[in-house]
Structures are given as C-alpha cells and as structure tokens.
C-alpha cells in the first residue's frame, strides 16, 4: 500500500487531496510496515511539495527521527515548528503525543496546552487536546486547572 501511495503521489495531477497529503499517508503506511527510513523519505517529499495537509508533515518527521534513534534532530524539527508559530491544533496534538511517547512530558504538556488554547472550543481537536493534556498533567502530578475542568 505504501509503495502504491508513493507512486500515486509522484504521478498525481491534482484533485480534492494534495500531493503532500498523499505522501503523508504513504509515510504512515511505511511506518506501519516497519520501514521508518522510507517513511522519512515520504514525509520529506510532503514538506517539499508544500501542499495542504491536516498535520504538518514535519511533526511526522520528528516522530520518525525519534523512532530512528535521532532525538537531537527530532527536537530540532520540533523547535523549528514552534519557532514559526501559528501551529495547527492537529499538529500540536501530534507533537504532544510524540513527546509523551519519548518521555518528554513537560514539553508535551506545553504543546497540548498551546494546541488546546488555539483550537475551537467544542471541536474534536479541542477535546482530544484537552484529554491528552489532562493525561499528561496526571502523569506529571499537576493539580487540576481551569482547562482540565472543561472536560467535565
């Protein structure tokens, strides 16, 4: 499936979905197939393409770099995304989940909080970010706050 998606993206003439979105889907398939290096290539193509995607492909690059045991590079990618500002809530959630998976709960809390504050109240992304943030806060031993109360 990943190989077909890569081929489709390479020959794609345009339509309802961007080429970058197809390469991002291919990258997920490569990762599920246990081939993170191939996933990284697809994600880099998505970034180069610059087309519209729901989650910044660089978030996937960071996650894949962690998976490839290249944490310094992964953190640099995350730092670059943060430095650019105006991060989509879905990207914030992806980065927060990545940071949780690789043990950086404090940074994950920051990403989840920023994403929750930037998302539309009541949306699925908002709820997902609030839930992720709450789980992170529990793991950190933080007391409940006003954002946590929104989950009630």
pLDDT in tens, 3-45: 666 565 566 666 778 889 988 999 999 999 999 999 999 999 9
Provide φ and ψ at 97, rounded to 5°.
-65, -40
Cβ atoms of residues 77 and 95 within 8 Å: no
Return d(Cα 140, Cα 27) in angstroms, integer: 32
* Annotated domain spans of the chain: 1-53, 55-152
Task: Identify the DSSP state of 120.
Answer: P
Tens digits of per-residue pLDDT, 42-87? 999 999 999 999 999 999 999 999 999 999 999 999 999 999 989 9
The superfamily (CATH) of domain 55-152 is: Tetratricopeptide repeat domain (1.25.40.10)
Q: How far is CA 95 from the centre of its chain?
A: 5
For the whole model, what pTM was predicted?
Answer: 0.90
């Amino acid at each position: 499936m990943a190989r077909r998606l890569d081929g489709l993206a390479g020959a794609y003439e345009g339509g309802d979905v961007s080429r970058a979105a197809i390469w991002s889907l291919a990258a997920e398939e490569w990762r599920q197939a246990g081939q993170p290096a191939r996933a990284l290539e697809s994600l880099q193509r998505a970034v180069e393409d610059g087309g519209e995607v729901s989650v910044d492909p660089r978030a996937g690059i960071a996650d894949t770099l962690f998976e490839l045991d290249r944490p310094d590079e992964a953190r640099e990618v995350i730092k670059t995304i943060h430095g650019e500002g105006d991060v989509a809530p879905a990207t914030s959630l992806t980065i927060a989940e990545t940071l949780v998976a690789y043990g950086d709960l404090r940074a994950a809390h920051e990403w989840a909080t920023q994403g929750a504050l930037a998302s539309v109240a009541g949306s699925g992304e908002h709820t997902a970010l609030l839930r992720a943030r709450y789980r992170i806060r529990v793991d950190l031993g933080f007391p409940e706050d006003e954002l946590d109360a929104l989950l009630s």
